[in-house]
Amino acid sequence: MESLPDDAYHQIFAYLPQQTLVGCRLLNRRIAEVATYYAFQRVRLRAADGVHSFVNVAKSESLRQRVREITIDTWVGPDCTYGYGKTNTVRLPRDFFRALAYVRFFPHLSTLNLRFSEYCGPDTRNGLAVDETWDLRYLVLDIVFRCVARVWPEAHRPLREENYVSFDRHDRGTLPPLPTEGILLNDDETLEPIHLRTLTVSNLADFDDRRLTDSDHFKQIMTSKSLKSIKLLVTEESNRGTATPVYFADKYDFCDNLPSTWLAPEIAENLTVLSLFFQNYWGWVPKMDFRAVNPGKGRASGLPNLRVLALGHYVFSHEWQIDWIASMVGHDNGLGGLQELYLDECPILWQARTAGPLDQSTKTYVSQDGDIISRSQNGYPLKSMMTNTVLIADAPLSERVQFAGSLHWSDVLHHWADHMTALRVFKMGQGCWSNENKESKWRTIQTYEHRPSAAVMSGLQSAVNDIRLKHDRDAQVPWSDLAGGLEAKKKQMLSQIQSFGDTTHLDYDCPSPSARHVPGTPYGREFLPRLGVGMSVRDKHILQYIHFDIDLGPTPWINHHRGENMPAIIVRLERFRTYIGERPRDMLAYNHLQGTVSWRAKTNKNSQTAA
């Protein structure tokens, strides 16, 4: 191996798992330097394991200098089941919170990934407990943002994590308590804030927590000129024991205030990459008015420097949305406009039946230049109506109002083809949304091949068969010992698989699974282990239309492209048949846009090569 040049080692080690890289450090001094560089570029702090190894890296002067990416995950392990209204709620270990304080020791950190459970909500709603409450999430986010900003309370104001979370009474922790025991008070005055370039959050609660977003340390980090990329996956409280999530007021406040919190003008002006995904449909209800993001008419308004925009589950219902993407995104990025657009299961709302009346108001926005801008809110459900479950239940069905959409994908895509002249990548499809599919994603990445989502059970069954064969060959080994080995292997597999869940907002630009993939055949050399699995672009996953009916359950959304059955009364509507009949025109527009984008990308590449 000594005869290989350093470039070859870099090419090899860039795709090796961390465990292998750590072993390569023992080969010789020359190889150890390259292996160490890659082994500690990315580190993980997960509540289930790795707390002390994370702290050890943070304490090492040489290793912490190499870290560029940290993933913080609240998952507590395969033995705990997350959900709503359980007798025993999941409790995070005390040492996990204390280890968060060590984030401040990584001076060259550029990418920070935060991962929460998809189950969220207040402490109790109708007496049903939640595992990861809003208070718990606030505590984690607050500690991390203070670490990155390197701003902490005075010594006489200790951070009382007990006010927000409950610990197991036997869990006293092994790390020093924070922050009064010294680990947060040394040389704070001499440390500069960490300059993040990328921030990602998986399962950010759809709760407008002003304790966080109004804090100085949140604003300091989010408005930093170094922060160029934000990728958010927003989850919702979906406890069916209480009510359909569409009735909860919190999600409406969250979307209403996004333009002043996570997408405040100082943030929006600086971003080059924005990935905004919700676990459920959003855009129409709850309404998300992107015109309120850095409002104005000048070159600095909207998202002027954006190069990549990825949206997940965003519903198109109004023409202004189409114009806004074409004109107010990337218009001042120096490249002529938005370069890449990804739409993950973003349908057009063709019709809705909901509680009336619909909004007919006009909303005014104040630009940073002080200009007053008026925007119509016609056609959106009113928050006051949607969150009044008693009124909705008591109102006769005859008082429901109809929203009739006018958008068609053929018109939308032709508009973008004509007006988004800098677009080099356009991708529409469906990502790996369900956590039930994360095992398939994991196997795809690990073995370069696509397998059905049930492969976890088949893999475990193979392990069972191997153990039974071993037991038959060696009767002296107690079956209980072998079963224990199987359980350990199962937990190890689940632990590896867990990290591939809830990453749809990160994987949008990864290679798509093959539409007609033959099991056992590789994807190709371009599909690398550290990449995720991108959107499926099969016909049924593109050019989708959706229907909303407030009286349907457990969800008011019906997307027949998913194979969901449309009510007979809808199928008989002339408008429904008209939209279904538009499919050929939509496909022509889709192919036209893809061809235009591909030609522009190829032309641009050739011109750069010639230069």
Tens of pLDDT, residue by residue over 257-278, are: 999 999 999 999 999 999 999 9
pTM, whole model, 2 decimals? 0.86
93 domain-assigned: yes
* Same domain as 90, residue 7: no
488 domain-assigned: yes
Domain closes at, from 534, 563, 578: 534
* Same domain as 21, residue 70: no
Domain closes at, from 519, 534, 549: 534
Please tell me the predicted confidence (pLDDT) of residue 524.
36
Give the number of other Cβ atoms within 10 Å of residue 248's Cβ. 24
* Same domain as 65, residue 7: no
- For the ranges 31-40, 206-215, 233-242, 456-465, the lowest mean pLDDT is seen at 456-465
pLDDT in tens, 526-537: 334 345 788 999
> Counting runs of H as helices and runs of E as strands, what totals does the chain give?
21, 19
* Same domain as 111, residue 76: yes
State residue 208 phi and psi, 5-degree precision.
-80, 90
* Same domain as 516, residue 382: no
Number of domains observed in the structure of the chain: 3
412 domain-assigned: no
Which are the contacts of 279, defined by CB distance < 8 A and separation ≥ 6? 118, 203, 233, 234, 235, 236, 238, 313, 433
422 domain-assigned: no
- DSSP structural state of residue 457: H
260 domain-assigned: yes
Greatest mean pLDDT among 165-169, 306-310, 352-356:
306-310
* Same domain as 162, residue 23: no
501 domain-assigned: yes
* Same domain as 8, residue 143: no
Judge whether 536 and 513 are in contact, CB under 8 Å: yes
Domain closes at, from 534, 564, 582: 534
* Same domain as 268, residue 191: yes
DSSP annotation string for 43-59: EEEETTB-HHHHHHHHH
* Same domain as 34, residue 47: no
Mean of per-residue pLDDT scores for the chain? 81
104 domain-assigned: yes
User: Is residue 595 packed enough to be buried (19+ CB in 10 Å), middle (13-18) or exposed (0-12)?
Assistant: exposed
Domain of 444 in residue numbering reads as 435-534
If we measure between CA atoms, which residue out of 205, 202, 113, 262 comes closest to residue 433? 202
Residue 518: pLDDT band by 50, 70, 90 thresholds? very low
Taking 60 as the threshold, does the pLDDT of residue 609 lie above it? Answer: yes
Q: How many CA atoms within 13 Å lie on the side-chain side of 381?
A: 29
* Same domain as 67, residue 31: no
Please tell me the predicted confidence (pLDDT) of residue 38.
83
Please tell me the predicted confidence (pLDDT) of residue 568.
66
331 domain-assigned: no
Taking 90 as the threshold, does the pLDDT of residue 319 lie above it? Answer: yes
pLDDT in tens, 204-222: 999 999 999 999 999 999 9
* Same domain as 373, residue 230: yes
* Same domain as 230, residue 104: yes
Distance CA 137, CA 121 (A): 10
